[in-house]
Structure formats: C-alpha cells, structure tokens
A and B are shown apart, each in its own frame.
Chain A
C-alpha cells in the first residue's frame, strides 16, 4: 500500500503555504518514483504548527510541523514517510498535549478525515445522529435537543430546543432551516474550520433540524470572506446528494431535505438573524423588528429555525450519544462543549474544544502559552467586537455564559483575542464605535448616529478636551445605544467601550480607578 500523507487544505494552513507543501511532497515522490497518497484534510487546529503534515505509520499518525515547502526535501532525506527523525518531528498527533487534553465532540473528525469523502465520514462515526433521528418522531428529536441543554453557539446562547419547539408548533406549508455561517466576529474561526474540515456533519445537523421541525429546505448563509469554505461546501453538497444524504428521500426514508448555499456580501450585521433573513430574501441586510420571531415568521414569511454552524454541528453528537452524555459536560446552565478559538497576540493560537467551565486564564496561558510577542498580556477580548475587554488580572473566570454576564462580559461565539501591553485601549474603544458606524445597517437611530458621535466623543477624550464632561457624555451615549438599539450591534457596542474605560482609564488620560465612576474624574483634564 502506498504511504498516506495528510496536508491540510484548511484556509489557515493554506495561508501559510500548505498548497506548496503538498506540491513539494508530490514532486519528491515522483523524483523518488514512489506512489504517495496525499490527502487534503481539515486542520487539527494547532494553527502555529500549520502547515501540519501527518504521515500514517503502523503506530498511527505522526506529525511534522510547521512545514515549509523548502523543508520537504529534508523530510524525504529523513525518511518521514516512515516517521523518521527530523527537527520538525512532533510525534504521534493524538498525543500532542494541546490536542490530548481536549474533548473533541463537534470537532471529532475535523483534521482527521478527508472532508469530502462520504465513506470516510461514515467510517469515523459520521451520520449516526441521523440514523437515530430517522427512527424518531419530530417531538422526540426536539425533546432530545432540549434535554441536552444545547444553547445557540452564535453568541446569543438561546436554548436550541426551545427555538425548534416553536417552529415545530407553528403550522405552515413550508418551513426552513437556515444555517448562519456569517462568522464575522474577529477572533472566531470555528465555523469555518468545521465547514472546511467536516461539512457533512453540518449537513447532518441541518437534516436532523429539518426532521425535528418539519422543514424540507435549508439555506446556508456563508460570508463572502470564506472562499475556501464555499469551494468545500459546494463539493460536499454534490457529494451528499450523490450519497443520498440530501434529496427527495434522505437515505431512502421518503423524507425530503435539500440545502442551498448562499454567499453574503461583506456585511457584518448580516450575522444578526433578522438581517440575515432579509439578505437571503435579496434585500438590504436591515434588521427586522421582533416580535414576530423568525421561528414563527422567518424566511419568506415562513417559520424558520435559524442556527449557527457550531450549534447545528453539535446536534449529530447529541442524537448519536444521547442528551445525557452531552449534558454531563459543562457547568451551570452552560452544557456541553464549546470550541474556543485562541487568537490575536497569542503564542499558540488555534481551536480548543473543551467543556464549559475551563478558565479563561487556562485557555490563554496553558493552551495559548501567553503572547506571541513574549510581552505581558494586558487585555483579552472574548466574544468578538461586541465583547468586553478584560484586564490580565481578571482572567481567572470560568467560561460559562452566566459567569461572564455577571462580569459584564460575554462568551459569544467563543473567540478569545489576546493583546499585549502595547495595546492602547482608548484606541480600541474608538475602534469599537468606528466598526459599529461602518457596519450599522442604519435602521435605528441610536446605532446609526450614536456610533459616529461615539467616535467623535472618544477622539475628544483622547485629545484631552473637557475630559470629565466628555466621559459623562460617552456614558450617556452608551446607555442610549444599549437601551434603544434594535439589535446587538448597536446594543452591545457599549460593552467593549465601557469595559475599556473601566479597566484601563489611564489610556483615556484618566486617573487609575477613575474609569468606573464619572464623579471621580476631577483630575482627568
């Protein structure tokens, strides 16, 4: 049998030259007249080791990384096809501590299989959730998901089963499953990695959702910034239809389900569920008033179960293993696992899937190894552009939806962005307002106008102009945006702004400790 080598085709690996590595391996094989099977897998999520090349040996898969195309001749000399010794040799992949300590449930197959091989997917446990669901009533499927405690992984954390129950209970001639793949938060890439590394599992989750709520059609709304994802999903959709996973009769069950892939067009606010629906309908991505909720009046006015990629990707494991196994993981009301994403100024960035309850400090230091620059961590932003900035002294906090809200922060989509001590938090606060201004859909005034005024007020504070008064004005503006915006974009931009002000007042030219109390700003200007 010819040797098998895995070279990820994940976008992150490709951004570090994985295609060149794959070509160099093929070239080397041709020169030595050996037949090497190169499989383009997803990423194992150890981003700093990408491209991570794996070789199948009798003792299991062993890894080399980070491999550059120029390293490949040396790897051949070191007999890497037989796991030979080389400075880039990392040992058995599964034994890498970073990976061994994880609890990969949703990402069980990502980086392991050929993402486009339906057969490999089945051999590695794919499709077992659907097998179970096809034997169940819609009510039982929804009950199972409710019982698992799964909450929306896109950021809002709404119980998935409750949403599905509403869609199931709303009679309609046509219902829809919409997958929100508009992963726009900086510091997040778990949706992308799942779609590129194990697309059939996402489809499986969508089909189960369809069986659960009575929908026969699904849409994936994919952001345009993910062209690699688009390529994989389109190929996988064809593969799924060929394999009988999608179509008029899902696996011969007589029940129909098919999926349409749609591309967004660079709008962040289209990650908001009602703006996303507007965009799918071919309109400007403007937020809708709620109620009615999309579960009742959603896409094209029909009941719609709208869920994030990782939410839907979690469903197959829940159906396959039962709700108890999922529920047994996690803490408090945050059940199951979350694929956390370590990003920004971090030494060992990548994807860490573990149960809720792990501490932020553990993610940043034990997994992440501190900053990439080697300087001290100063701030960490969790949950994307609308998440709070936490100071380095406050990282001993468990990753749990409720614990974060208590601290005025959010878990969101699980993105962790680390900053070293060179960061200027007043500048980051300004950026939060600027980003809101750039991405506001314009429907509600607090967000549309407030964000622009916010940039101006922060500029005045940074320039030292009437600081106490302008800080008071900024707080007032934040309160208006928080309480009167239609959606989370305007409604949560205050979180990064006010957390920066509270924890890092000196960056705004204020006395330490002055940021949390406008009355104590006398010395500020």
Chain B
C-alpha cells in the first residue's frame, strides 16, 4: 500500500500492468487507481507502460502523460533503494526542518529532489505528513518518524538493514528496455 514498499522479488512489469488494467480500467475515473496500482508494485511507472494504459482507458498518450506529470507522487524514473522524504511545510520549518534537510544532504552525500548515482537513496521534500504536533517529520520507505533531529536521523538510517546489492531498481531498468 505505501508508495515506497520494496517487494522481496522483482515483479514482472508486464504482468503488473495487466493486473492493474484488469482491476481498474472499468472503474469510473479509474486512471489514478490504475497508475497507483502499477507504482505500488514496481515503485515507479515505466514510460513504456503508458501507451497501453492510454489505449485501454480510451485516452490519448498526451492525456495520460498530463495526469502522470501533474501529480508529485508519480515517478517516471525508478527511485533509489531507500526513499527518504523530509517534510518542509510550515510546522516542520518551525522545528528546524531546514537544518534537518542540510544534515540529510551531508549525511547521504546528495541533493534534494535526486537519486544517488549508486541507486542507494532518493531524497525529496514532502509537504505535510500530518504529524505536525511532533515536528520535524520524515518518512523512510513510507515509515513515518516524528521529532527527527539530526541525531535521530542518523539513528534511523543506521538502524536500517542494508538492502541486497542486486536491487529491484536495476531489474526494473533492465525490464524497461522491453516494450510492455
């Protein structure tokens, strides 16, 4: 369900898209649920899948692209193995989220809005996680953490079990070469 879950095995993109279409293509206004269903499994939306989505939804490719590009959640590139989202909204700013972002950039050695070249992390902002009484907040792979000062940030990152090198990300990139 969370957008950043990491399945143990790499799902087959063709089968994923097929399942999403079966589940949502006939639902009124079903494009968002359909796109979510694909991204929930694959972690992103392989661009090669979109013409097929457009086709079954009786939409133009431009219309589907318009929807995908409108929403911040949808990814047209695979994310890193870990996705760190730091809240930058007012409440978290009042509790030092700017300093937290700076710390995260240093610690992870990367910029906001980016995926590290080694595919280890994606670091991005989010605008409110609804945890404003316990600011600043962040999510790591969809798990919410409150009162995150730099020390707590390091704890969360250090406590995470390392992911295997043969990542889903690379598998997906390879798969993306094929037409769906």
Contacts and interface: CB of A to CB of B under 8 A. Distances in A.
Interface stretch (B102-110, B114-122, B144-152, B165-173): B144-152
Interface in A422-444: 423, 428, 431, 435, 438-439, 441
A341 B128 contact: no
A378 B70 CA distance: 36
Interface stretch (B11-19, B76-84, B88-96): B88-96
Given A343-B132, A349-B134, A435 B127 contact: yes
Interface residues of A, number: 63
Nearest to A15: B146
Given A11-B131, A15-B145, A265-B32, A285 B95 contact: no
A281 B130 contact: no
B67 interface: yes
A186 B29 contact: no
Interface stretch (A85-93, A219-227, A243-251, A310-318): A219-227
Contact of B71 (A11, A265, A415): A265
A281 B29 contact: yes
Chain A, interface SS category: mixed
Contacts of A185: 128
A385 interface: yes
Contacts, number: 151
A419 B134 CA distance: 14
Interface string A107-147: 00000000000000000000000000000000000000000
A420 B2 contact: no
Interface in A1-34: 11-12, 14-16
A280 interface: yes
B100 to A, nearest CB: 14
A344 B94 CA distance: 5
B2 A227 contact: yes
Interface in B54-90: 57, 66-67, 70-74, 89-90
A417 B90 contact: yes
A189 interface: yes
A186 B145 contact: no
Interface string A248-279: 00000000000000111111100000000001
Contact of A349 (B33, B93, B133): B133
A345 B130 CA distance: 15
A477 to B, nearest CB: 21
Contact of B72 (A265, A286, A420, A441): A265
Nearest to B31: A282
Nearest to A231: B1
Given A14-B144, A265-B74, A300-B29, A283 B67 contact: yes
Contacts of A189: 130-133
A342 B133 CA distance: 6
A12 B133 CA distance: 8
A51 to B, nearest CB: 11
Nearest to A217: B28
B71 A267 contact: yes
A29 B130 CA distance: 33
A372 interface: yes
Contacts of B137: 15
B49 interface: no
Interface string A295-331: 0000010000000000000000000000000000000
Q: Which of A11, A185, A265, A415 has the most CB of B within 10 A?
A: A265
B99 to A, nearest CB: 11
Contact of B132 (A16, A284, A417, A431): A417
A2 B163 CA distance: 41
A41 interface: no
Contact of A344 (B2, B30, B36, B90): B90
B50 interface: no
Contacts of B131: 11-12, 15, 189
A227 B1 contact: yes
Contacts of B33: 262-263
Contacts of B36: 224, 263, 265
Contacts of A15: 131, 134, 137, 144-147
Interface of B: 1-3, 28-33, 35-36, 57, 66-67, 70-74, 89-95, 126-135, 137, 142, 144-147
20 contacts: A16-B134, A185-B128, A186-B89, A225-B130, A227-B2, A231-B1, A263-B32, A263-B33, A264-B32, A264-B73, A265-B73, A280-B29, A284-B70, A285-B71, A344-B91, A345-B94, A351-B133, A415-B132, A417-B132, A418-B94
Given A14-B144, A262-B33, A420-B94, 7 more contacts: A15-B146, A264-B73, A265-B73, A267-B71, A268-B127, A344-B95, A435-B89
